[in-house]
Every structure is written in C-alpha cells, then in structure tokens.
Structure 1
Amino acid sequence: MRFTYFFLLCFLALSCSSDADSWLEEAKKRLKAGETVSAKEAIQKAIEKNPGLAEAYNLQGVILFQEKDLVGAEAQYRKAISLKPSLVQAQLNLGALLMENGKWKDAFEPTNKAVTLQPDSSAGYLQRGIVLAALGKPAEAKADFTACLKIAPNDINAHYNRGNIFFQELNYPEAIRDFEASVGVDPEFAKGYYALGLSYYYFKAKDKACLALQQAKKLKYPGASQAVKSLCDE
C-alpha cells in the first residue's frame, strides 16, 4: 500500500512537470507568432504547474526585455538563475541586460559563468569579448572573438568587433581582414563596409577605401556620404 502511494505521488509530480513543459513550449510558439499576451498566459500556466521551472522565468524575462521593462526582466532572469544556476541562456540574458544598462563590470560575471558552463558555444565568447572590450581589455577580448570564430567561422559580429580592436591598435592589415570577412558573410552589412573603407584609407589604399565607402553610402550608413565627400574628393 505504501509503495502504491509513493508511486502515485511520483506519477503526479511527473505529470505536473510534463504539463509545465507543454505550457512552456506553447508559450514559445505563441511568442514566435508575435502573440505576446497569450504567450504570457501560457508562461503563467507553466509556472502554476511547476513553480520551480527556471526556463519559464527566463522566457518571461525575455518578453519583459522586449517590452523595455528592464527592471522586471532582470528580476525574472535572476529568479531563473536562482532556481537553476546552470541555465546558460538565463546567464547570457542577464549579462546582455546589464550590458544594455551600461553595467559592464556587473555583466562580466553572468557572461563568464555562461562560458564556463558551455565552453563549446560561440555566443558566450562573443558576448564576453564585447564586455571585455568595453572594460578596456583588448587582448582578452580578441582572444574571445577568436574563440568564437573557431566555433562559428561566419559570426559577423565576432569579425566586426575583433576588427574594431585591430583598427584601434592601428593594425590595419588585420582590421581589413576582419572587416572584409564581415561583409563577405553579409554583403548588406553597411557598417562593415564603412569600417573597411576607413581601414583601407589609413592603410594608404585610397582606391579600395573609396570603393568600400561608396558601398556604405549606397547602403545608407550614417556618415558614409560625408566620408566619401571628404576622403574621396567628391
């Protein structure tokens, strides 16, 4: 009899967990379809079924972040992390929110935690590289962008951000290499062409600089028209 009772409790617990996961998946579908209000309702159902479902709080934070409620989003991300510290996406999301608030030192801890938890993910290295660059640690930032590119060779943001550091270091050949890679990934990447144009210009390759700046102008990148006018004798 005692065994039967224990089995029943386990069955109910598993059923609740399964129901919560189903509601969470439903919330993701609704959010993807742009149905924010009904997505929130589904998340609430998931939490009612399983108050310890960290992924539900994380998703709630994502919605609040999209709605520009950064205080609410941060609370949800921290709740998710308190329930499940190994939830990489919540760690990254919290780091991204703190970056949005300009709290770069605070952003490092959750972002670094995400990299530690999932060292084979390019997203963590990219985000940590951006944080390190903002904290004035260019060598470490470049190392992270390089690590990101080893995993995801076509990550446009890793190429662009590493290129920016090379540019600031006056290492124009390396900057050119990264900016060329970025526009190779996306031929519509306007700021990549702009940065490439400036890199070529300071590398004393004016013809190539103007071609890149003209493309940035064509793609309506801010400042490109003025750069073409002042640097390309137009």
Structure 2
Amino acid sequence: MMLISLPTQQQQTNFKQAKHFFSLGKVFAKKSEWKKAIAAYRKAIELEPDWKEARQSLADAENQLQKKIINTQQQIEPSKKLKIVDRPLEKIPTQEKQESAIATVSNPVTVNSNFADEYHTNGDNLVEKGEKEEAIKAYRKAIEINPELWEVYHKLGNLLQEKGELEAAVTAYQKSIELKSDFSWSHNNLADVLVKLERLKEAVNAYSQAIELNPDFPWGYYKLGDILVKLEDWDKAIAIYRQAVTINPQAPWYFYKLGELLHQQGQFEEAVKYLYKAIELKTDVPEFYLGLGAVLVKLKQWSQAQEYLHQVIQYSPDSCQTSLLAQAYYYLGAIK
C-alpha cells in the first residue's frame, strides 16, 4: 500500500498560490483578457504541474487568443490605411490632440484602470523578483487609483501577513472579501491571520465561509477543527474532522486527530477505529501508536495495548521524543 503523508508546508503554499492564480485566470478569461488569463494559468501550472483543469483552461485561453489575432488581421488587411502624406499636415497635430483630449475626458475610468493595471502588473513582477516591499507600494498605488481591484487587496494581504503586519493584512483581506465575497482564499487567509492574532471566534467564521465556498479543500477542515478544539467546542470539532476524513480518506493525520478527540470525549471504541486507520496509512509515526495504545489501555485490551506501546519505543529512539517515551512507559505501567 502506498503511504500518503500530510502535505508539507511548501506543498500547501504552492497549492494556495496555484488556486489563486487559477482563479485570476478565470476572472481574466471572463473579461476576454486572454494574455493575462494565459499568464495566470501558466503560473498556476508552474506551481501545480499535474493540474489537468488548469492545463485545459490554458489551452482554451490560447485558442481564444489565436482566434482574436486572426480576426483582427482579417479586419485590418482588406482596408487601405490612410497614409500620413494623404492627410493635411496642418491638421494632424490638432486632430490627434483633440482625439486624445476627448478620450481622456469622456472615459477617465478607462485611463485610471489602465494605470492601476500597470501598477498591479508591476507589483506581480516585483513579487517574482523577491522585492516585496516595493511590491507592497505598487499594490497600494494600484488600489489608490482603482479601489475596486479585489485581487490586489488579496495579494496585498498576503504580503502584509508574510511581513507580520497582521492588522493591516486583516483590513486588506476584508476589503477583498467586500468586493468579491465568493473567493474562498481571501476568507481562508483572513482566518489564518485571525488565528495569529488569537481572534479565534472570528477565525472560525472565516474558515467556515472558506469551506462553504470551497468544500473540496480538506486542509480547511483540519485548521477549523484545530481552532474548535482550542475553543473546547468538542462536538463541532468532531463533526469537522469527520468531514475532513470523508473528503481526504488518504490523510493519516486527519484520522489521528479525530481518533484523539474521540478518545478525549470517552468514545473509545470509535476512537480505536480511526487510530487504526491512521497507522494503516502511515506506519512509522510514534504518536499514532501512542494514541492507539492509550485507548486500548482504557478498554483493558492489555496485550494489544502493550504491542502498540512498544512500537512507540521502536519509533522514538532519540532524545527529542522523550515526552512520547515517557507517556508510553506510563501506559505500559498501567497494564495489568
């Protein structure tokens, strides 16, 4: 059986960023901004190379861009362009200035939007280069020009969170949510910051909203369950962990968390079932054996308890596991 462990921090970060770029690609595609959509999809694929949906969306966007280019060429080629020599020289500057002035006055939103997009793109490029302080400035300038750019608020929140400016990050994420309430990652990232600020009840609301919008993301359930445990809301925590193992039945730590919580609540028989599953999925984690051994002691299944507790000793040979070893010996001492 192939063993599947909890995603690493880097894998989680890559997944979050890939989802973000994929969502941006969808936004640009709806606006028929195919070049921007293509760039966003390519970034998503760079972070998650095996994402079939992103690859299909990229192919669709490239096809649409190709059609647009062909259509434009077909419109331009049959018509004969007016050459400069065919126009009255004295009227050229005046006419061009008038057209420019009319465009600027009649459609200032378009002009401002273009400037904001430039700052937005510049901010993205600065992030790519690792110049995050300058990127923050660029994003702030973009939303100063066009305060309706929800994705810029989201990106700004990410950078501010990384920088440790947590209150400012909360404000940025909240503004992003105000402008686009159905983007799950703004809710998720807001919750992450609220946890750091120890505003746990608010974090529960934000994680819950993120899960509602993106119910197939098991890591959200895991984080929400942890917060509910801290708040000692046991029944809700158990319910959330149950959802997590249903959505991702190959994640051993989800089963362990659920088993431990059921053990804590005195539901020993059911706890055994989930702790067995955690070990089945990943056989070299001493915490899993300790958890199962402890429950079996409570159930007075002495021989089985002894077997699993000895596994803790086998997988915890070094001094960094002294706490686990101490607990294992404690439970072994309780065996009759």
Tell me which interval the TM-score lies in, with the shorter structure as reference length.
Answer: 0.7 to 0.9
Letter of the 1:231 partner, please give it. Answer: Y
Q: Which runs of 5+ in 1 are unaligned?
A: none
Q: Which protein has the larger Cα radius of gyration, Structure 1 or Structure 2?
A: 2
Letter of the 1:113 partner, please give it. Answer: Q
Deviation at 1:112, TM superposition (A): 1.9
Q: Tell me if structure 1 keeps the 8 A contact 2:188–2:206.
A: yes
Deviations 1:46-74 (A, max 9, x none): 44234443333334433443444433433
Deviations 1:64-100 (A, max 9, x none): 4344443343333333333333332121122223233
The count of aligned residue pairs is 226
**TM, length-normalised to structure 2:** 0.54
Does 2:268 align with 1:168? no
- Matched residue, 1:42: 135
- Matched residue, 1:26: 125
Letter of the 1:174 partner, please give it. Answer: E
Percent same amino acid at aligned positions?
A: 19
- Matched residue, 2:157: 61
- Give me the whole-angstrom Cα distance separating, in 2, the residues matched to 1:190 and 1:27: 44
- Matched residue, 1:221: 321
- Give me the whole-angstrom Cα distance separating, in 2, the residues matched to 1:29 and 1:184: 41
Letter of the 1:85 partner, please give it. Answer: S
Task: Rate the CA distance shift 1:174–1:66 in 2: closer, same or farther, 3 A.
Answer: farther
Q: Spell out the pairing of 1:134-173 with structure 2 (5 A cutoff).
A: 134-173=230-269
* SS of corresponding position for 2:161: helix
Q: Tell me if structure 2 keeps the 8 A contact 1:20–1:45.
A: yes
Letter of the 2:298 partner, please give it. Answer: Y
- Bigger relative CO (Cα 8 Å, ≥ 6 apart): 2
- Give me the whole-angstrom Cα distance separating, in 2, the residues matched to 1:90 and 1:64: 13
Q: Spell out the pairing of 1:181-192 with structure 2 (5 A cutoff).
A: 181-187=277-283, 189-192=285-288
- Give me the whole-angstrom Cα distance separating, in 1, the residues matched to 2:279 and 2:118: 45
* SS of corresponding position for 1:182: helix
Q: Which runs of 5+ in 2 are unaligned?
A: 1-98
- Matched residue, 1:117: 213
Letter of the 1:125 partner, please give it. Answer: Y
- Give me the whole-angstrom Cα distance separating, in 2, the residues matched to 1:178 and 1:21: 47
Q: Tell me if structure 1 keeps the 8 A contact 2:120–2:138.
A: no
